[in-house]
Amino acid sequence: MTLQGTSIIGASRGQGNESAGQSSNPANNETLDPNYIAATDKELQHAVSLADDAFQCFRRTSGADKAKLLRTIAENIEGSIENLVTRMPLETGLPEMRVRGEAGRTCGQLRMFANLVEGGSWVDARIDRAQPDREPIPKVDTRSMMRPLGPVAVFAASNFPLAFSTAGGDTASALAAGCPVIVKAHSSHSGTAEIVGLAIQRAVADCGLPEGVFSLVYGSGRTIGQALVKHPSIKAVGFTGSYGGGRALMDLAAARDEPIPVYAEMSAINPVVILPEIAAAKGDALGEGLFGSLTLGVGQFCTNPGLIFIHANSVSHITGKLVELVNGSSSATMLNAGIRQAYGSGLDHLKNHSNVELLAAGSCGDAQNQAVPHVFQTTSSTFLASNDLTEEVFGPATLVVTYTSDDELAQLFGSLGGQLTASVHGTDDELASHTGISALMETCTGRLVFNGFPTGVEVCASMVHGGPFPATSDGRSTSVGTMAVYRFTRAVCWQDCPDALLPDELKDANPLGIQRAEV
SS3 445: strand
**C-alpha 202: how far from its chain's center?**
25
Q: Are strands 489-495 and 332-333 parallel, antiparallel or unpaired?
A: unpaired
Closest CA to 22 of 342, 340, 370, 336: 336
Element housing 175 (H / E): helix 169-177
Query: Which DSSP symbol is given to 490?
Result: E
Q: Are 212 and 51 in contact (CB under 8 A)?
A: yes
H runs (alpha helix) in 275-370: 276-295, 315-327, 337-351
- Which member of 265, 392, 408, 505 is catalytic? 265
Q: Are 423 and 270 in contact (CB under 8 A)?
A: yes
Give the separation between CA 268 and CA 340, rounded to whole angstroms. Answer: 18
Q: Give every CB contact of residue 47 below 8 A, 6+ residues apart in sequence.
A: 7, 9, 10, 39, 182, 212, 215, 217
Q: Are strands 262-265 and 307-311 parallel, antiparallel or unpaired?
A: unpaired
Opening angle at CA 201, ends 198 and 205, nearest 5: 140
Which amino acid is located at 295 in the chain?
T
Query: What single string gives the DSSP state of each residue in 184-223?
Result: E--GGGHHHHHHHHHHHHHHHHHTT--GGGEEEE-S-III
Give the separation between CA 244 and CA 248, rounded to whole angstroms. Answer: 6
The CA-to-CA distance between both ends of the chain, in Å, stands at 57
- Which member of 107, 194, 211, 302 is catalytic? 302
State residue 294 phi and psi, 5-degree precision: -65, -40
In our burial notation (b when 16+ CB lie closer than 10 A, e otherwise), range 15-36 reads ebeeebbbbbbbbeeeebeeeb
Active-site annotation holds for 207:
no
Give the separation between CA 22 and CA 25, rounded to whole angstroms. Answer: 10
Active-site annotation holds for 265:
yes
Q: Are 237 and 253 in contact (CB under 8 A)?
A: yes
Give the separation between CA 212 and CA 197, rounded to whole angstroms. Answer: 13
Query: What single string gives the DSSP state of each residue in 233-275?
Result: T--EEEEES-HHHHHHHHHHHHHSSS---EEEE-----EEEE-
Residues marked as catalytic: 265, 302
